Each structure stands twice: as C-alpha cells, then as structure tokens.
Chains A and B, each alone.
Chain A
Amino acid sequence: MRLLKLVPDDTNIKFLKWRMPFYVVSVLLMIASWGLVLTQGLNYGVDFAGGQEIRATFVGEETAPVVELRDTVSALDEVEDPVIQRFGDPNQVSIRVKLPPEAEGVPEFADKMTVAITDAIKAEHPDVRIDGVDSVSGKVSGEFREKAVYALLAAMLAIALYIWIRFEWQFGVGALFALAHDVSLTLGFFALFQLEFSLQIIAAILAIIGYSLNDTIVVYDRIRENLKKYRKMPLPELLDLSVNETLARTVMTSLTLLVALVPLLLFGPPSLFGLVAAITLGLFVGTYSSVYMAAPILIWLGVNSNSFVPEETVADKQEKLARGEM
C-alpha cells in the first residue's frame, strides 16, 4: 500500500528568506488587531457586559417572530437596545440585553429584566419554551473581565517561562512573542467581525495558548538538535533546514486537529460555535506563527550553538588563546 504523503520528502522551501516582509505584516496585523479592539471594542456577551441572554424556542411555529419580538422587548421600560438573533433552528432565538448604567450597584437589576422579558414574550406566545437564561450582574461580569485578563497573561508567561527553562531564554521570548501574536489576532478577529465575546471565547483562547505552541515546540526541538549537529551552519540556513525537516509534522498535527474540529463547527451544538470557531482560527494563526514568528525571532535574539554545548573550560580558553583565536 502506498502511503499518503501530504508533504513531499526533502522539501527545501526558503521560509526565512521572506522573514522580513512576513514579520512586518505580522506586526502590522497585531497592531491592527489591537487598534480594532481599542476602537471598535469587543462585542461582550452577558458574561462580560452584564445583563441577560434568553434563549427561547417557539414551539409549533415555523420561524421565530424576530421582528415582532424586537418591538415587544424594546417597548419594555427596563430594556434598551436588545439584540435579537436566530440561534440554532429557525424557530429558536437568543435575546441579549445589556445592563443599563442605572443597574450599577443594583445586583438584582439583571434578574428583574429577565422576568420582565419572559413575561412579555409569554403573554403573546403562550407556547414558547424558554430554553435557557443567563443573567449576570454588573459586579460578577466585572470580576469575569478581570479574571480573564489575569488568566491569559498568567498562561502566556508561565508557558514562556517553561520554554525558557527547557531551552534558552531566546526560545522563551520567541514563544511569548508567538503567543502574543496568536492571542492578538484572535482578539482582532472578534473585534473586526463583532462576534459575541464570552467566557467560552476566553476558554478557547487559553486552549489556543496551549495548543498553538505544539508546533512551535516541535520546530524548536529540531533547531536545538541541529544547533548541536551543525555547529558551523549559518543560523538562517539552519532554521530553514529545521522548519523544512519538521514541515510534515507541522502540517499533519494541524490537519488532524482541523479535521476533528470542522465537523463540530458545522454540525455541533449552536452554543459551541463561538468556542470552536475561535480554536479553529487559533489553529491557523498558531501554525503560521510557529514557522514565521517563533523561528525567525531567534536570529534577532542571537541564538547560537554555544547555547546548547557545555561551557568552555579554562583549558579550552587557554588553548584558544595560544592559537591566537581570541
């Protein structure tokens, strides 16, 4: 049986030749992402903005009366600017309402809004089935925001620290940079398309932080191996060799994850869509950053083969001195 080889043997792609343009593009993309996050803002779901999300199924109706609902819900005193969307099947909707400013310091406000909305819907559609209610007060959502930032920063730093310990500081910095790149672009994507940003998305980004480094580690491992093996090879050439040698792995590991995730994205429960979409996006960004961010940065940070061979002894130094090399 002939086996499938997605990546031909002995590729020799000059990845590093284009490192400058790619770096410039990546850094610009990161800046653009942050620009979007800061100007457009993230479309916070109830987890982070407070307020509530009500999911309902209009049993016995073909489609959910979205337009009518918008009028009904907007007419309520308690509610301003509800976001009403189809969610899952055609007769299912999600109604999202943010907390108004006067809810500040009134923990029970979110709760009261839910009751008002469900009562209003039930009055006109007695058969409606309330599938779920998420109601989050301003205080709790504020805590979630704070914890999310800490968790992301702590995860990135802890992993970079681990890479530093296992490799060298240059690799730790490279990993941190690659992670910052992946997280920034994912945030930028959510800001650009104004997709709902919830606790699940933070969970997805934390998973990305873990998994996007898998490829980076494979490449780094090979770089370390080659640094010991080819002591005289110029660094850009050595990095290119390492990336090419591990290319089949990078492609295969990303591909297995992708084929596992895509069915979940297409046929999975609608409430998981955001999470899976974020991880899938992170998968692409992470694979790219392993090749184009994590590896080339080592050139600028000045990795050399001495990082992984034992320190010179005094005798070695004297010998070099004697030969006039120093």
Chain B
Amino acid sequence: MLEFPLWRKIWLWALTLFAVLAALPTILSSANVQWPESLPDPMVNLGLDLAGGSHILLEADPAQVAETRLENMEESVRSAMNNAQPAIRFGDMSTRDGQLAWMVDSPADVDRTREEILPLVNGTGLVQEWSLQVVDETRFVLRQSDEGAEQAVTNAMDSATEVVRKRIDALGTREPTIIRQGDTRIVVQVPGLQDADQLKALLGQTAKLEFKLVDLQALPANVAAGVAPPGSQIFPFAEGTNEEGQFLAVKRLGGIKGDNLTDARQSVDPQTNEPVVSIQFDPEGGRRFATLTEQNVNKPFAIILDGKVLSAPNINEPIRGGAAQISGSFTADSANQLAISLRSGALPVDLTVVEERSVGPELGAESIRLGMIAMLIGSFAVIALMVASYGRFGVYATAALAINVLMLLGIMAVLNTTLTLPGIAGFVLTVGAAVDANVLINERIREERKRGRRVIAAVENGYKEASRAIYDANITNFIAGVLLFLFGSGPVRGFAVVLIIGLFTSVFTAVTLTRMWVAGWLRKARPQDLNV
C-alpha cells in the first residue's frame, strides 16, 4: 500500500498539476487578471443566478398545432375540390373533434374526390399522417393520425425554436442559450439581460398576420353579441386602437396570410406622423396581395394580428408591387417589436411563459462575495480542527483539501460546467466532507497503533481498513448526487455537479495524495512513533 514507484508519483503529480492549472484562468479572471489569449482558457461559467440574467421556459399547446393543421387542411381540400375539372360540388364542411368532414353532392363524385384528396393527405414523410374514410356513401371524414399530429408538433417546435433564435439575435443580446426541452418546451437563457419584460413581450408575440375581407352583410347587433354569420368569423379590435372593445366580422376564407414577407421595418407615416410597420411581400405573396386588392376595390379589409384587428382600412386602389403599411396605434417601441417579429417570421404556434427566473447582476456578485467569505472562514475552521486533532497528518489533510478545491474548480472548467448559487454551498459541503476520509484514516491509524502495531504496519492498515467505509460512503453520496442531478434544473443541477465532481477529487486528494505524502515521509524520516 505504501509503495509508490516513480512512474506512479509522476503520474499523480501530473494529474494534480493539470487539474490545478485548469483552474487558473477562472481564478485569474475573477481577480481581473488577463489570461494570455494564446493559451487555452477553460472557464467555469457562472450560472444566471450568479451572473445575472433571465431564464425563461416557453411552452406550446399541442392542441393548437393540431387545430391549425386542420384549418390548413380545410383550405387545401376546398381549393382542391374547387379546382378539380370539372369542380366537385360539396357541402356541410366542418372541423370538429380533431377531424375534417364534408359531403359531396353526388355519389358519382366519390372516386374523383378521393383521387383529388389522396395527394394532400399522403405527405412525403414515412408516417401515415392522416386517415381518410368514406361513410354513408358520400360523407368524407379526414382524421389526423397520432403519429401525424406528433410529427406536426415536432416540426412546429423546430421552426418555433428557429424563430425564437432569430428574434433574440435581433435584440443583440450576448450568448443566449436556446434549447428545446421535452416535446413542447423551449428554454431561453439570456445572461446579463436587464429588461426581461421586453424579451418576454417579443417571445410571447406569435406575430400571425392575416388580411381578411370585412363581412359587410353581418348585422351589427349579432357582431356585438359575438354571433358570427355563416362563413364569417368575429375578431375583437386590438388594445389601444380607437375601436377597442368593439368587434368586427370578417370572411373566413379568401384572405391571405402575412407569412410571405421578405422584410418588415418600423417607419413613420408621412401624413399622420404615427409609427407604422412597412412590410414587403415576396413575389408570391405580392401577387396574391395584388389579386386580393384588385378584386375588392372600395371594400374594407381587416389587418389582423394574433387574432386581434389592428385596423380595417378601405381598399382605395389595387396595391401592386407587394409593399404595404400596417398602422394600428403603435408606439415606436411596439412598432419596432412587431417589425422584428414579422421579419423573423410568425411562430407556428403560440408560446406562453410557464416559468421565469430573472436575477439582477448586482445580487449575483454580492452572493459570490458572501459565499467566498463564508467558505474561507469555514475552511480555516476545518483546517484548525484537523491540524489540532491529527498533527502532521492533519497538515497533509489540509494540503489535500487545498488541492481538492483547486482541482474541483479545474475539472469544472475543463468540463465547461456552470457554477450556480447552490453550487457555492456544494463547495462548502465538499470542504467539510472531504476531510471525512482523512478522519477515518487517521482514527484507524491511531487505533492500530494502540493495538500495538508498528508504525509502517499501522499506517498501511489504517489506509486499507478505512478505505472500505470511505468508498461505500462516497458511492452512496454519488447515488444521491446523480438523483439530484436528474431531478434538478438550473441552479440545483449546479449543486449536484459540484457535489459529484467533489466526490471524485476528494477521494483522489484525501486518500491517494495523502498516502503518497505519508509514504514519502515514512521512508525519509523513519519515525519510531507517530503523534496521531
């Protein structure tokens, strides 16, 4: 046990040196010393609770994805039926309970309908996305398969993540982290952000822009009561508009969506001096917008954003060229925000903030300072206790403890882990528990000496007999640490990381390194007695 061949010593010192060196960039940067750029600089990241910043968890509702998908399918089916040669006559189209149903007028058209619809429902993917059934001879029922719905949610979340990324980049914040979590969630972490409200407003805006024709036949009394005429929908006016609190009926079909945009900018209306958003359609969107306006001159159309009417201007003349202006009682900020949202594209699904944690930068710096002071006092108390109780062996334990803390920091830096506020508690806990191994070893050596063993045999037995309990204790701590890691999120996970890495470094320093030192001392000094 006490034999340390040269190669083993070199290897142990090299490992120690490597881990301690890895801690250097982190220590120096906290003391504001510049680390040479040419050297690798592994760093311990500071968690949001220490560095300041915002953690926002966004969630989408999968039912909404399915609903949107059904609506799109309804549009596709309608146009397929209308565009068939000759057009297929049908009626009673409805979307209910997650299925789309309609009836063709003549049983003779059933086969032809099926031919038209099949290409729409069999996507390019491998999964069967829709199931098509014909009941009662002429009634078609189209239902989303579970796999298809799941696939749609995955796709929607993928593109939502992209959109979120674009919007945050547009804010110009540094190093945001944007990760998908689970099936329907996105985690956004932005360090050093001062104003989380702006970020949340930006991410919470779906930016689904629609242009729909106003239903002029709708009775005002019905509209006010929220009763939509057949083929129409009712939308409220947006907050801040002159018509706030009122409702507007628009035709469900025949409108266009604002997702074919190439650009959106905040600008100022030269006549009214009000902030507006100028948008530019792509060629396809521009052509459709031109058609819509050409066919409906002198009729009003509604500009609807996220289910709320911004304005309902009259179409005075056809708008060709694909440029348009949206006004809707904007402030410069809200117009700019809408422009960013439209530029980065609409979110395919609404995202709501289900968890937010924001910490100001001042509080984090204070926490680190207080944590460091407490850790220093605690460490000195532990050292005093160890040296007073075990003399020379306590000094070895102290040296091991110091290296342990540096190694822990170094390995955290190499693994690029994050130090959080509870992680500081993890450091203190590690300091207090790391010397446990030395206590067990030293007490055992004491005991072996009392039983009359010679010095070398007592030390050897001390390490050997104590190591069983040391390993068992560390493994149970490890089990608890792993569950802590699995359970926790963010700060708590940072606690688990420190505890787990600390277990490894403390066994290495408190058991292996001290054994090497003790062995070296025994060899050199050849003591006849031990003061332990």
Name A's B-contacting residues (CB within 8 A): 1, 3-6, 9, 55, 57, 107-108, 110-111, 114-115, 129-137, 139-140, 147-148, 150-151, 154-155, 158-159, 162-163, 166, 199-200, 202-203, 206-207, 209-211, 213-214, 217-218, 221, 225, 245, 248-249, 252-253, 255-264, 266-269, 271-272, 275-276, 279
Contact = CB atoms under 8 A, between A and B. Distances in A.
A221 B469 contact: yes
A220 B385 CA distance: 25
Interface in B177-201: 196-197, 200
Interface residues of B, number: 77
Interface stretch (B102-110, B125-133, B368-376): B368-376
The majority secondary structure among interface residues of chain B is helix
Given A257-B429, A272-B422, A272-B425, A139 B354 contact: yes
23 contacts: A4-B389, A6-B389, A111-B352, A111-B353, A131-B360, A135-B355, A136-B355, A140-B355, A151-B487, A158-B479, A163-B472, A199-B491, A200-B422, A210-B476, A213-B476, A221-B472, A256-B436, A257-B436, A260-B378, A260-B432, A263-B373, A264-B371, A269-B424
Given A214-B477, A257-B433, A258-B432, A249 B390 contact: no
B389 A3 contact: yes
Given A209-B480, A275-B425, 8 more contacts: A5-B389, A132-B363, A158-B479, A199-B491, A202-B492, A218-B469, A253-B433, A259-B378
Contacts of B475: 162
Contact of B433 (A159, A211, A271, A272): A211
Nearest to B436: A253
B275 interface: no
B378 A261 contact: yes
With most chain B CB atoms within 10 A of its CB, the pick from A136, A211, A225 is A211
Contacts of A202: 487, 492
B374 A267 contact: yes
Contacts of B447: 245
Interface string B236-250: 000000000000000
Interface string B157-195: 000000000000000000000000000000000000000
A44 to B, nearest CB: 15
A221 B388 CA distance: 26
Contact of A132 (B357, B385, B488, B532): B357
Given A140-B57, A214-B433, A268 B473 contact: no
Interface in B322-378: 352-360, 362-363, 366-367, 370-371, 373-375, 377-378
B171 to A, nearest CB: 18
B51 interface: no
B531 A3 contact: yes
B483 interface: yes
Contacts of A150: 487
A163 B379 CA distance: 31
Nearest to B384: A259
Nearest to A137: B354
Contacts of B488: 199, 203
Interface in B463-493: 465, 468-469, 472-473, 475-481, 483-484, 486-489, 491-492
A55 B374 CA distance: 23
Contacts of B390: 3
Contact of B375 (A134, A166, A264): A264
Given A217-B473, A249-B443, A203 B366 contact: no
B520 interface: no
Contacts of A275: 422, 425, 495
A115 B197 contact: yes
Contacts of B59: 107, 139
Contacts of B197: 115
B391 interface: yes
A158 B479 CA distance: 7
B477 A269 contact: no
Given A133-B357, A249-B440, A279 B487 contact: no
Contacts of A5: 389
Nearest to A224: B468
B477 A211 contact: yes
A173 B531 CA distance: 39
B432 A131 contact: no
A40 to B, nearest CB: 25
Contacts of B356: 110-111, 114, 133-136
A259 B495 contact: no
A259 B483 contact: no
A276 B388 CA distance: 26
